[in-house]
Amino acid sequence: MPEDWQRALAVVAHPDDLEFGGAGAVARWTDEGRTVTYLLATRGEAGIDGMPPEEAGPLREREQVASAAVVGVEQVDFLDHQDGVIEYGLPLRRDIAAAIRRYRPELVVITNHHEVWPGGFRNMADHRHVGLAALDAVRDAGNRWVFRDLLDAGLEPWQGVRWVAVAASPFATHAVDVSRTLDRAVDSLREHRVYLAGLGGDMADPDTFLRRAAEETGRRFGGVPAVSFELIAL
C-alpha cells in the first residue's frame, strides 16, 4: 500500500463495517502518525432484530465511537441516511463530497461495493450504494460546478484524493501488515457488544473471525497477518 500520505477518510454504510474489514490497517496508520476520519452513512438503526430503530441507532452510534477510539480515530461523523434502504443518488453523493472537501483526504477507504464478497456471497444494497457513491463523490468533490451550494457553505473543491482503497473486495490487489495491530482490531470490533450479541454465528466472535481472515489474507500477501484492499489509483 502507498505510504506517502497523511490524511484518510473512511466512508461506510454502517457501524461495524470498518471493524469487520479494515480496522487493523487503520490502527497501523494512526500509530504511524496519520489522521483517519470515519464517515458513516447511517447509524445502523435497522441492524438489531430484537431492538427498535429508535433505541438501536443511538446505541450503535456510541458503540462505533468507542470502537473507533480503540484504533486511534477521534472524528466519527454520521450522515443520517436511513439504514437498510440507502439509495444511490445525488443526495448521498453530495453528502460524501462535502465531507471530502471538509477533511481533504489523500486516501479514501470504502468497503466492498461489488455485487459479491470474496467467496461469492452476495453483497447487500447499502454497501454497494455507499461504495459507488463514494467513488463518484471523489470526482464530485474536485469539481466546483457540481453541488455549487457547497461553495456557499465555504467548502472549496478538493482534487487531492490520490487513491481509493476498497476493503473486503473480491479483487484485492494490495495489503497492510497488521501483525502488530491485530489485537487492537479485535478489541475495536468487540466494542460493538450489543450488535454482536444479536448477530450470532461465526461473525459474533471477533477474535476467531478477524484472526482467521488476517491469516488467510497473509497466505497471499507476504505470509504475515494482513488486511487486503483493492487499490484504485486516481
Binning pLDDT at 50, 70 and 90, where does residue 65 land? very high
Check residue 199 and give its pLDDT. 86
Predicted confidence (pLDDT) per residue in 191-214, tens digit: 999 999 988 788 899 999 999 999
Q: What is the mean pLDDT of residues 116-133?
A: 96
Residue whose entry in the numeric block shows the C-alpha cell 466546483: 144
- The average pLDDT across 1-23 equals 96
- pTM of whole model > 0.85? yes
Residue 21 has pLDDT above 90, yes or no: no
> Residue 202's pLDDT is what?
83
Mean pLDDT of the chain: 97
